């Protein structure tokens, strides 16, 4: 790891980064935790240097408007203005932790962006068990770098179809997190008539969407997901007046907290409006989103009410719906 940060010889840097990534892959979770602690503490910023630069900065006399004008008019390149600029530049540099160089180098290395995503997923796992301040700072810094590298301008919006490579379609099946895809027939249906699937891809992670969204084109906004998944036959696209976003899935745990979904939805809405003007005219776009953990919460409430003999203040369910849920628990 030290060589990956301190090495300056370009011709052997790739080999060092390759050794680092391969070595990382062979580490146990506990050894990865130790590596993160070393990285976050031993390769953090130099606070002694930062304090000294802050003292220098605070010791300078703040230039007034007249002094600034006189300095500009006299073309003074030396003096208190240049001192301000120099210390500010040095302070900005000193506030960057040393591990930034590792992140920057890995991002430029083939496969490095995917590797950084894996690293951050492991950091988040460690933080979930032990909330360590230095690791929080490491995670926050890496997250900010990933946000920059994964800006929408760097991403390709790709419509995923049945004609895409099997390797890409396999990832859609594997990563679908909202409504699991049961078989190839189900997958083909979701990519067929009256359906759309779009994903964000990055050139550094080819053939693997970072996030994807599934869209149903329908006559009316569906009330249940069953209408979306099992309507037979699907609505002819020329008759569709609504676009329903019914599933969005992120494929990279290491990108948690990086809001690519918001940008993806906006781009897809623009694309659907362009391709299907009759939907654009009606302006009917909606989401059908599950509430994570709702069923478990509701079942626990129903079970508690049944044991105590009490009833809800409001009847949230019809009697047959309540019985069906209780029977399924």
pLDDT tens per residue, range 132-175? 999 999 999 999 999 999 999 999 999 999 999 999 999 999 99
Token pair 């230039």 is found at 63
Token pair 């989103």 is found at 289
Query: Whole-prediction pTM value?
Result: 0.79
pLDDT of residue 69: 58
Answer yes or no: do 119 and 189 share one domain: no
Segments of the chain scoring below 50 in pLDDT: 77
pLDDT of residue 82: 86
pLDDT of residue 91: 95
pLDDT of residue 283: 61
Answer yes or no: do 90 and 135 share one domain: yes
Which of 265, 141, 154, 259 has its CA nearest to residue 205?
154
Domain that holds residue 67: 2-151
C-alpha separations of 204 from 85, 112, 113, 133 in Å: 37, 8, 7, 31
Q: How many helices (DSSP H) and strands (DSSP E) are in the chain?
A: 16, 5
Answer yes or no: do 256 and 132 share one domain: no
Strand partners, 41: none
Strands 156-159 and 242-250 come out as: unpaired
CATH number where 115 lies: 1.20.140.90
Answer yes or no: do 96 and 134 share one domain: yes
Distance CA 164, CA 248 (A): 19
Sheet holding 211-218, edge to edge: 156-159, 195-201, 211-218, 242-250, 285-287
Q: Specify whether the CB–CB gap between 213 and 268 falls below 8 A.
A: yes
Answer yes or no: do 299 and 167 share one domain: no
The angle, 0 to 180 degrees and rounded to 10, between the axes of the packed helices 133-149 and 29-42 is 90
110: its two tokens: 């083939």
pLDDT of residue 76: 54
Q: How many domains does the chain have?
A: 3
Q: Using DSSP, state whether 196 is helix, strand or coil.
A: strand
Answer yes or no: do 145 and 172 share one domain: no
Which of 121, 107, 141 has its CA nearest to residue 29?
121
């Amino acid at each position: 790891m030290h060589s990956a940060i301190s090495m300056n010889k370009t011709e052997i840097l790739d080999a060092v980064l390759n050794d680092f990534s391969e070595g990382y892959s062979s580490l146990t979770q506990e050894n990865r935790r130790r590596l993160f602690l070393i990285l976050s503490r031993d390769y953090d910023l130099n606070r002694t240097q930062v304090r000294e630069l802050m003292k220098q900065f605070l010791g300078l006399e703040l230039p007034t408007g007249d002094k600034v004008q006189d300095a500009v008019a006299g073309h003074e390149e030396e003096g208190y203005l240049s001192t301000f600029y120099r210390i500010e530049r040095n302070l900005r540099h000193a506030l960057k932790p040393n591990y930034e160089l590792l992140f920057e180098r890995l991002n430029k290395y083939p496969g490095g962006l995917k590797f950084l995503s894996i690293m951050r997923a492991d950091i988040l796992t460690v933080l979930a068990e032990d909330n360590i301040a230095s690791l929080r700072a490491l995670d926050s810094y890496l997250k900010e770098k990933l946000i920059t590298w994964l800006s929408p301008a760097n991403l390709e919006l790709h419509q995923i179809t049945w004609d895409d490579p099997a390797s890409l379609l396999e990832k859609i099946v594997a990563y679908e997190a909202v409504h699991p895809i049961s078989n190839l027939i189900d997958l083909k249906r979701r990519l067929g008539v009256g359906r759309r699937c779009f994903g964000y891809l990055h050139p550094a992670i080819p053939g693997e969407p970072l996030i994807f969204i599934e869209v149903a084109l329908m006559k009316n906004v569906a009330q249940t997901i069953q209408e979306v998944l099992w309507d037979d036959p699907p609505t002819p696209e020329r008759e569709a007046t609504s676009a329903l976003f019914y599933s969005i899935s992120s494929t990279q745990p290491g990108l948690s907290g990086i809001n690519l979904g918001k940008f993806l939805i906006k781009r897809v809405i623009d694309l659907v409006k362009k391709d299907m003007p009759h939907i654009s005219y009606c302006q009917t776009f909606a989401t059908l989103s599950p509430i994570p953990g709702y069923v478990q919460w509701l079942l626990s409430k129903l079970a508690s009410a049944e044991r105590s003999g009490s009833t809800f203040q409001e009847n949230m369910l019809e009697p047959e719906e309540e019985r069906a849920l209780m029977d399924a628990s």
